[in-house]
Structure 1
Amino acid sequence: RGIVRDELGDKPGAIDDYTQAIKINPNYANAYYNRGIVYYQLGDKQKAREDLQRAAQLFMAQGNTAFYEGIMAFLKEL
């Protein structure tokens, strides 16, 4: 639902949905990633960095090195 809200321009609603998903499953890397991107789009680089770093950690722990490397490359530009 967060993705749909984001696509509709409801970024605060998207953040709320991603936050709820993280509360349900704290190891849900995609929710951290998506929320981090929304924070970035809103100009909150600190929160974006925190979420993206957490997503990268989770992706690495889950063996998803492609996503990990992509996020790390993005963080270097942040």
Structure 2
Amino acid sequence: MIFDQVLALSPNHAQTYFNRGVMHYQMGNVGEAIADLQQAAQCFHEQGETIAYQNTLHVLEQMQTTPSAFA
């Protein structure tokens, strides 16, 4: 999978974690989606990407409260 290849080369690439998380969610892999989005949020936070960090937290919250919104 391309996401895994990118993360092997750049393990702190937040946007890749985010994109892979959304993909997992769309495939019904909720646990993996949440794990990737949490990792994305952590990376965004550590990189000082405040807006991306807040947006990722919002997506996580929405996934957990209204799962059908992302299916």
* Structure 2 length-normalised TM: 0.84
Q: Quote the RMSD (CA, aligned, Å).
A: 0.7
Q: Where in structure 1 are there 5+ consecutive unaligned residues? A: 1-15
Q: Where in structure 2 are there 5+ consecutive unaligned residues? A: 64-71
Q: 2:12 aligns with which of 7, 11, 27?
A: 27
Shift of 1:74: 1.2
Distance 1:19 1:63 in 2: 23
Identity of aligned residues (%): 38
Partner of 1:17: 2
Structure 1 runs of 4+ with >4 Å offset: none
Partner of 2:32: 47
* Structure 1 length-normalised TM: 0.77
| Number of corresponding residues | 63
Partner of 1:69: 54
Higher relative contact order (CA 8 A, sep 6+): 2
